[in-house]
Amino acid sequence: MVYQVRVINIASGDKTSIGSGFQVSADGHIATNFHVVQLLVNKPEKYRIELVVDEDKIMPAVLVAVDVLHDLAIVRVDGAGSKSFALLADPLAKGERIYSMGNPRDLGMTIIEGNFNGLVKTLRFERLLFSGSLNPGMSGGPAFTEHGEVAGVNVSTGGNQLSFLVPVKHLVDLLQRVNSAPLSDDLKGTIRQDLLNEQDAFYRARIAETWSS
């Protein structure tokens, strides 16, 4: 199941952020982007999340885990049903056809066809290059193969027919974190520690390199 993800201002009832998400477990875990739900992390007393199948079915959701480094988040919803997307285990072949789903600009669920064009090597954090047009509102939706296995998560666009996906292996890692240990309620603390750990690893790797003079 693919959903629209809405972050709602509790006081006004207005939509302050919209994106997409998709079910990744039988117990109601939904994957999306961190940037879609970040307002809830920063000011949880002011915002709430809801998932939308259509205007007749709107379900409240709870944010349970985030990966700020790879722009991922997991929310949980009751009553989502048991059907979920399979996550791709094997690497894609360059040029393979993939399909992205999401709700662009709040216009309704859309499928975009494109190609996998390999990893972008100039970015610090891994991204897959997708030759399809992602638009605002599709962030957090799935990009899957012709067999329905998710290869990546919609994250951003670089212009016409130039878009980027988070590799699915980072979503697998986040799900393992959700399933293997009690989750902290301090999401800000989790983000802070993840950033510090990544920064430390980055500088240790630079110091360990052979320096040229």
Instruction: Note the pLDDT tens digit of each residue in 146-192.
Output: 999 999 999 998 877 789 999 999 999 999 988 887 677 788 888 99
What total number of domains does the chain contain? 2
Instruction: Say what the pLDDT of residue 53 is.
Output: 83
Q: Kindly report the CATH number assigned to the domain that includes residue 80.
A: 2.40.10.10
Are residues 145 and 101 part of one domain?
Answer: yes
Instruction: Say what the pLDDT of residue 82 is.
Output: 77
Are residues 105 and 61 part of one domain?
Answer: no
Are residues 90 and 36 part of one domain?
Answer: no
Are residues 36 and 7 part of one domain?
Answer: yes
For residue 25, being part of any structural domain is answered with: yes
Residues 6+ apart with CB under 8 A from 65: 73, 74, 174, 177, 178, 183, 190
For residue 9, being part of any structural domain is answered with: yes
Are residues 113 and 69 part of one domain?
Answer: no
Instruction: Say what the pLDDT of residue 138 is.
Output: 94
Closest CA to 154 of 62, 72, 63, 38: 72
Of the residues 61, 84, 107, the one at which a domain ends: 84
Instruction: Say what the pLDDT of residue 213 is.
Output: 83
Report the C-alpha gap between 6 and 77 in whole angstroms: 13
Length of the chain: 213
Residues 6+ apart with CB under 8 A from 203: none
For residue 188, being part of any structural domain is answered with: no
Are residues 76 and 22 part of one domain?
Answer: yes
Are residues 35 and 108 part of one domain?
Answer: no
The percentage of residues in the chain with a pLDDT greater than 90, rounded to a whole number, is 68
Q: Which two tokens stand for residue 87?
A: 């996550």
Q: How does the average pLDDT of the chain come out, rounded?
A: 91
Report the C-alpha gap between 69 and 55 in whole angstroms: 33
Are residues 57 and 93 part of one domain?
Answer: no
Are residues 64 and 15 part of one domain?
Answer: yes
The percentage of residues in the chain with a pLDDT greater than 70, rounded to a whole number, is 99
Are residues 128 and 69 part of one domain?
Answer: no
For residue 200, being part of any structural domain is answered with: no
Are residues 124 and 65 part of one domain?
Answer: no
Paired with 111 in beta bridges are 101
Instruction: Note the pLDDT tens digit of each residue in 30-76.
Output: 999 999 999 999 899 999 999 998 777 889 999 999 999 999 999 99
Q: Which domain holds residue 96?
A: 86-169
Entry pTM: 0.91
For residue 117, being part of any structural domain is answered with: yes
Report the C-alpha gap between 25 and 179 in whole angstroms: 10
